DNA sequence: ATAAATCCGAGCAAAACACTAGGAAAACAC
DNA sequence: GTGTTTTCCTAGTGTTTTGCTCGGATTTAT
């Protein structure tokens, strides 16, 4: 039940984008220095974030990444889903493709995993970047 | 954020022990057949469950495993912790050894992971084997 | 032009996962 | 007391995931 470093890094990186002026794009080099994360690994992570339309990239000198929406409109859940896929402790309780589990009738524990997923989603979907930024002061 | 099959199997296996007469020990062969899980893999899992004192083993013919406590006194959290270690999305929010994270002061996201851990624990620690057995009718 | 940055596609070592194999020891049935 | 059934114990092993690195192409500000 552990979150990958990719997920952790993604949230931290997005928080850096939030804390820095929303106007100017922030370069990965800068994020890398501030958060002590490999710049090239960050690149990979931002491929996912860009595909999920959470950030927009600006090439060239003084380029970088900007949030594509307001910080109060991006949740930790959005970020984790972008880089890690659906938030679901086991495959049979993903919201999409819900019918992947063949022994659904027999599977009593399924309900437990569903409730676990829901409680995880609740926390992650109700925490926005704005919330996190507020705590950082 | 996925639960290992080991964790899933452990809960399912413990549920089998609960559903069958609490008096007689249940053999892993039987659990294996009912739940379609490799018997040898089950053995490994029950090593952990036994170390955590959730089950007691009885050797010899007509042997097997019994719950060491009442089904309403064993939670899904107990089982998962026995086979998977502490329930914590990231290392820095384990209850024990809480000081493993060096950049605690800087780490704003830590609070998020702590809340995530708590909401997961809440669900898992408030679901007992008796609860699951009730649903199975 | 040059430098700074995003984009893009591979590759790769280490760890974790999901088992398998082979036996020793205990308890019971006869 | 000899088999059979079970737990118990220690390894080993292939596959997948994780957590990166490397090399280059493209775009843009100065």
Residues 6 or more apart whose Cβ sits within 8 Å of residue B40: none
At a 7 A CB cut-off, the residues bordering strand C are A 2, 27-29, 43-44, 46-47, 50, 56-65; B 4-6, 38, 40-41, 43-44, 58-63
Query: What pLDDT is attached to residue B43?
Result: 97
Work out the pLDDT band at B22, boundaries 50, 70, 90.
confident
Distance separating alpha carbons of residues A45 and A7, to the nearest angstrom: 9
Q: Where are the alpha helices (DSSP H) in chain B?
A: 5-19, 28-35, 39-51, 76-84, 110-125, 129-136
Among partner residues B3, B89, B112, which is closest to A90 by beta-carbon distance? B3
Query: What pLDDT is attached to residue A136?
Result: 79
Q: Do the Cβ atoms of A15 and B108 come within 8 Å?
A: yes
Express each pLDDT in A70-119 by its tens digit: 999 999 999 999 999 999 888 776 765 455 555 555 678 989 999 999 99
Percent of all residues in chain A with a pLDDT value above 70, rounded to a whole number: 89
**Report field, pTM of the whole predicted structure over 0.85:** yes
Express each pLDDT in B53-105 by its tens digit: 999 999 999 999 999 999 999 999 999 999 999 998 887 767 654 455 555 55
Query: What pLDDT is attached to residue B103?
Result: 58
Between the CA of residue A133 and those of A15, A104, B5, B37, what are the distances in Å?
A: 7, 42, 37, 46
Query: What pLDDT is attached to residue B50?
Result: 97
Helix (H) or strand (E) holding A118: helix A110-125
Query: What pLDDT is attached to residue B101?
Result: 57
């Amino acid at each position: 039940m552990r979150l990958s470093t990719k997920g952790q890094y993604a949230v931290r990186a997005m928080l850096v984008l939030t804390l820095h002026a929303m106007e100017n794009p922030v370069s990965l080099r800068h994020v890398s220095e501030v958060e002590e994360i490999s710049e090239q690994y960050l690149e990979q992570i931002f491929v996912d974030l860009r595909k999920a339309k959470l950030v927009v990239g600006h090439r060239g000198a003084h380029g970088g990444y900007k949030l594509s929406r307001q910080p109060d409109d991006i949740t930790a859940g959005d970020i984790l889903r972008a880089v890690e896929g659906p938030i679901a402790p086991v495959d049979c309780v993903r919201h999409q493709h819900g019918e992947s589990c063949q022994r659904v009738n027999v599977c009593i524990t399924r309900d437990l995993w569903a409730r676990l997923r829901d409680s995880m989603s609740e926390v992650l979907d109700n925490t926005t970047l704005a919330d996190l930024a507020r705590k950082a002061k």
